[in-house]
Amino acid sequence: MTAIREPVVIHKGLDNVYVKESKICFIDGDASKLFYRGYSIDELADHSTFEETAFLLIYGWLPTTSQLEGFTQKLDSYRPLEPEVLRLIQEFPEQSDPMDVLRTAVSALGLYDPQPMTDELKLRIDKAMRILAKVPTIITAFDRIRNHKVPIQPKGQLTQAAEFLYMLTGNEPDPYDSHVMDVALILHAEHEMNASTFACTVTASTLADMYSITTSGIGTLRGPLHGGANEAALRTVLEVGDPSRAENYVADALARKKRIMGFGHRVYKTWDPRYLILKKFAGELATRKGQSGLFDTAVAIETSARKHLEGTPIFPNVDSYSGIVFHMLGNQTDLFTPIFAMSRIAGWTAHAIEYLESNRLIRPKALYMGKTGLPYLPIESRTGRLEA
């Protein structure tokens, strides 16, 4: 006997399914445009800071001077880790993936918040800021511990970007490096209803706390189909190794139906606007740091790929140069996705807060294709395999 089937449409991958109205982010994938709260990403990259952009995403408007000061002071005050959380990180296996460490440590932060559950908007924002501020401290503490170095306390009065680079190395970063890192954080802060933001929204819809919401996002970003393409794109550039080998690599990869990492996007069917900004910085960083070979190889891969993919909607995406930028800023490859998370928390929490303004529990359906009414067999009569 089979279950009665309703006439239904299955939206596998939820392609083109709208789950809420939103005023946070608009992507025009045909015109190569991205807006946060109505402001173009190009303008934000040119004029804003990550802190200001995070405020914009969470509150909905650009802050005044005093609002921005209050926001950054609060982030500063939240930045140090509770000793218990730091001790926990010290206990993790050194070979752990930093994304696993981040997921576990952010979850643990909730244990040291005396009131993790709240339905008050002000407190929800406060918890979002607490997580946002502590994530750079978590990532850098683990990176130093696994390299047998002592974690560095936040210096204070630095931007999220500069503080991250400072806690990573113990040296006050070059202002240009901090600026590039800051812009990279702005560019990764939000991208509408992607997989991790949806995961956060589902968790928020159950009225769970902000720590559970963010942990869901980190777990979802961890997968190679979402975060992680930046690492793969850099590995490709390192593997190709020289601009002269790019054409052969691309032709061979495409002939074998292999994807070129850092190319293609579900929404953008032309240039990803974030790619253009990061490419410029990657070129400048390469000159400054004497790593032109790396950049030239990436450009050669891009040129060959564009030639072979001409006539298709497959263009470079944000990840074609973000990995190179993070690499030249001194980050180990497995820190790229945690850095992505460090920025995207602004978007995740903004969407969770927005969804909770008119919450409805997210509870889709699965079309049952199995049997019903099977007789319960005693253990000695079972076949031990799936019956047709």
- Interacting span for ligand ACO (CB under 6 A) from 4-12, 36-44, 74-82, 314-322: 314-322
Chain residues 136-165 in contact with ligand ACO, contact rule CB under 6 A = none
CB of residue 224 to ligand ACO, shortest distance in Å: 9
| Segment lying near ligand ACO (by CB under 6 A), choices 198-206, 264-272, 282-290, 341-349 | 264-272
Tokens found for residue 231: 């690492």
- Least separation in angstroms between CB 183 and ligand ACO: 16
Q: What are phi and psi of 127, to 5 degrees?
A: -70, -35
In the complex with ligand ACO, which residue's Cβ is closer, 211 or 268? 268
Among 35, 71, 166, 263, binds ligand ACO (CB under 6 A): 263
Q: How far is the CB of 90 from ligand ACO (least distance, A)?
A: 32
Joined together, the tokens standing for residue 9 give 């449409």
* Pairing mode of beta strands 33-36, 39-40: antiparallel
Q: How wide is the angle at C-alpha 248 spanned by C-alphas 242 and 249, nearest 5°?
A: 70
Is 318 a binder of ligand ACO (CB under 6 A)? yes
Number of other residues whose CB lies within 10 A of the CB of residue 358: 8
350 contributes a contact to ligand ACO by CB under 6 A: no
Which of 41, 44, 109, 229 forms a contact with ligand ACO (CB under 6 A)? 229
Shortest CB 15 distance to ligand ACO, Å: 8
Q: Judged by CB under 6 A, which stretch of 55-63, 177-185, 316-324, 377-385 contacts ligand ACO?
A: 316-324
Binding-site member from 49, 196, 220, 317 for ligand ACO (CB under 6 A):
317
Task: State which of residues 149, 266, 288, 307 lies at the interface with ligand ACO (CB under 6 A).
Answer: 266
Q: Does position 321 bind ligand ACO by CB under 6 A?
A: no
| DSSP element (H, E) containing 36 | strand 33-36
Q: Which of 237, 319, 346, 352 binds ligand ACO (CB under 6 A)?
A: 319
Q: Does 265 interact with ligand ACO (rule: CB under 6 A)?
A: yes
Provide the total of helices (H) and of strands (E) in the chain, helices listed first.
16, 3
* 260 near ligand ACO (CB under 6 A): yes
Residue length, the chain? 388
Q: Find the Cα–Cα–Cα–Cα dihedral 369, 371, 372, 375, rounded to 10°.
A: -160
Q: Name the β-bridge partners of 371.
A: 2
Return the sign of the alpha-carbon dihedral for residues 233, 236, 242, 247. Answer: negative
User: Among 23-31, 87-95, 104-112, 256-264, which window interacts with ligand ACO (CB under 6 A)?
Assistant: 256-264
Q: Which of 173, 262, 273, 323 binds ligand ACO (CB under 6 A)?
A: 262
The SS3 assignment for 112 reads helix
DSSP string, 326-360: HHHTT--GGGHHHHHHHHHHHHHHHHHHHHHHT--
Starting from the edge strand earliest in sequence, which strands make up the sheet with 39-40, in order? 25-28, 33-36, 39-40
Smallest Cα–Cα separation from 324: which of 377, 358, 285, 352? 285
In the complex with ligand ACO, which residue's Cβ is closer, 52 or 319? Answer: 319
Catalytic residues: 265, 319
Binding site for ligand ACO (CB under 6 A): 226, 229, 259-266, 314, 317-319
